[in-house]
Structure 1
Amino acid sequence: MKTPNPKKARPRVNAQTRFSTCAKPLMDEALRCAARLDEYADELHKLRVALRRLRTLLWAWRPLLDREAVEIERAYLKRAGMAAGSARDWDIALPLLREHADEAALVDERMQAARVEARERARATLAASDLKPALRDMLHTMNRALNTAHERVPVKRFARDRVQTAQRALKKRERRAKRAMRDDYAAWHDVRKAAKKLRYLLEFFAADLPRREVKRLKSLKKLQNRFGALNDAVSVTHLVDAHREVFANAASGDATLAALARTGKRRMRRAGKLIGA
């Protein structure tokens, strides 16, 4: 029996090879969800999350890639995610509307019809976007660019630098949100997006970062949940305002919008406590 040579060099993990390790499962998840949209209602949400993670992944590796090419791919992923998100908004809206409106005020058939119509539009948009070949071409192009690079970048150093960049961005947005007026929702929404980006990076690089960094995931998830609840209230408010036909009459719509506004304010206060606002 041949004795293993302890001095034999192991394959070195670098930032270039780590990209494919992260990207391939996300691409597979997105395509799996896209293929099952007709079977399971929750697949739209899962697809949206997978596409969002892929966008963050491309942002993370942007320093090692052609910036313009990366932004083109990220824009494509954003458009596909928005198609899924437009239908997802109705999934969020239905339980929240039933919580805030009298049953008599709602016309359930109209709500369900609007939801079905949104899902059909999402399916059509995603089908027209050629998601499968687009994602495979993206992965092939990015891997080729990374694997032909002359310089190999240590993954631990790369992970630290990108996480620090995302942490600074989150802190900047938290300061901006604290200074913003309560009705300046865009500043608060930016906090949620920055927290989400940092969370995804910590998950991508969990094996390459100090344990104390990965432990931040718990607080980030809490922040993301509270700001996500705020975002749900704001999104549903805009959706209802654009689709007042789901109510039995104008007075019912006005009353529900007022109730949603109060919910939004409560959720904003809860979210604000996490950033000292």
Structure 2
Amino acid sequence: MKRASRKIDNQAADSKPAGTGSSAESAFASYAAPLVVDAIEHANAVREDASPESLHQLRVSLRRLRSLWWAFEPLLDKGENTRQRALYKYLATAAGKTRDWDILIELITQDERVAHEIAPKLQEARGSALVTSRETLSNADVKHLLQDALTSASKELNTAHERVPLQTFVDQRVAASERSLKKRIKRASHAKRSNYAAFHDVRKAGKKVRYLLEFFEPVLSGSHKRVLKRLKQIQKRFGTLNDIVASEMLLRDNMGLLAGSGDTDAALNWLRKERKRRMRAAAGLLRKL
């Protein structure tokens, strides 16, 4: 296993941006290896660093891995690809359980009166969530899971009989992700404001497009400036909406845990008003896209 670890570390160190003349199969490791190294480093950091930023960075790195595996889905075994993407989602969720408390605490502090009353209980709940997150990530053995996933996918691609030009491949995959985003924007623009799932789908599709553009921008044909501008708007507007919705849900799900810690009804009322305001803002953006 140590030998495999050194091999992957060397892959990451030697990885150079793939050129337009490369094949998609041969270019995979140049994209995947650095992401695997980053995710492992962030997972290790979470064991020592309990800050919101360390958990956020781990979750982002795992989401980026999931998006990359989605991009290469047509070239990989379908069942194994689905399993790996589910694994990245599982690990990101483990980190996210603590991160969600961080977001709730940050939002609640905007109302000093409410925050003063329930902040101690929120911090206590956050501490318990952190213990669970760390235990889950430790038991999962993130380092070896990610290394094995990279080794397996690289081997499969390197032994493939056919070769697909990298530029052709990434143009097709980015176009597919952009079509998916447009479809979800259209669906959400006709949905009722109570249908948060439709708005959430726009946010997830936007993240995928953004990650793919970050991965492949140097070899993509054509300009994607208009899409990037749209993505920045979506990320900001829909990200703040998601924070509110997730925090309101988290608070509602833990009312028993927070009983007697202060005016939780006031906190819920503030979150509810914020949700409605940000839903209106998100709907307004959709009409402009």
Please give the TM-score of this superposition, normalised by the length of structure 1.
0.91
Matched, 1:18 2:27: yes
* Aligned counterparts of 2:261 and 2:35: Cα–Cα separation in 1: 45
Matched, 1:35 2:44: yes
Decide which of 202, 215, 223 is 1:204's aligned counterpart: 215
State the match for 1:151 in structure 2: 162
**Contact 1:192–1:223 at 8 Å: present in 2 too?**
yes
* Aligned counterparts of 2:115 and 2:27: Cα–Cα separation in 1: 55
Decide which of 73, 78, 81 is 2:89's aligned counterpart: 78
Encode CA deviations 1:219-238: one digit per residue, 9 max, x unaligned. 31221121010000000001
The residue type equivalent to 1:39 in the other structure is D
**Bigger shift: residues 218-227 or 99-108:** 99-108
Matched, 1:231 2:257: no
- Runs of 4+ in structure 1 off by over 4 angstroms are 247-250
Larger Rg: 1
The residue type equivalent to 1:173 in the other structure is R
**Contact 2:20–2:167 at 8 Å: present in 1 too?**
no
* Aligned counterparts of 1:205 and 1:11: Cα–Cα separation in 2: 10
Per the TM alignment, residue 215 of structure 1 is displaced from its structure 2 partner at its CA by: 5.4
Per the TM alignment, residue 145 of structure 1 is displaced from its structure 2 partner at its CA by: 0.6
Structure 1 residues 215, 28: closer, same or farther in 2, change over 3 A? farther
Per the TM alignment, residue 147 of structure 1 is displaced from its structure 2 partner at its CA by: 0.6
State the match for 1:116 in structure 2: 127
Decide which of 230, 241, 246 is 2:258's aligned counterpart: 246
- How many aligned residue pairs are there? 267
* Aligned counterparts of 2:170 and 2:20: Cα–Cα separation in 1: 19
Per the TM alignment, residue 39 of structure 1 is displaced from its structure 2 partner at its CA by: 2.2
In structure 1, the gaps of 5 or more residues are: 1-9
Sequence identity percentage: 42
**Contact 2:248–2:272 at 8 Å: present in 1 too?**
yes
State the match for 2:173 in structure 1: 162
**Aligned counterparts, 1:86-125, within 5 A:** 86-100=97-111, 102-103=113-114, 106-125=117-136
**Contact 2:108–2:114 at 8 Å: present in 1 too?**
no
In structure 2, the gaps of 5 or more residues are: 1-18
**Contact 1:80–1:126 at 8 Å: present in 2 too?**
yes
Per the TM alignment, residue 61 of structure 1 is displaced from its structure 2 partner at its CA by: 0.3
Matched, 1:267 2:278: yes
Per the TM alignment, residue 102 of structure 1 is displaced from its structure 2 partner at its CA by: 1.6
* Aligned counterparts of 1:77 and 1:191: Cα–Cα separation in 2: 20
Per the TM alignment, residue 107 of structure 1 is displaced from its structure 2 partner at its CA by: 3.0
Encode CA deviations 1:30-83: one digit per residue, 9 max, x unaligned. 110111112251211101000001001011000011111100111111111100
Per the TM alignment, residue 268 of structure 1 is displaced from its structure 2 partner at its CA by: 1.4
Please give the TM-score of this superposition, normalised by the length of structure 2.
0.87
* Aligned counterparts of 1:194 and 1:101: Cα–Cα separation in 2: 35
State the match for 1:171 in structure 2: 182
Encode CA deviations 1:64-118: one digit per residue, 9 max, x unaligned. 1111110011111111110000100011111211224624762332111111111
State the match for 2:11 in structure 1: none
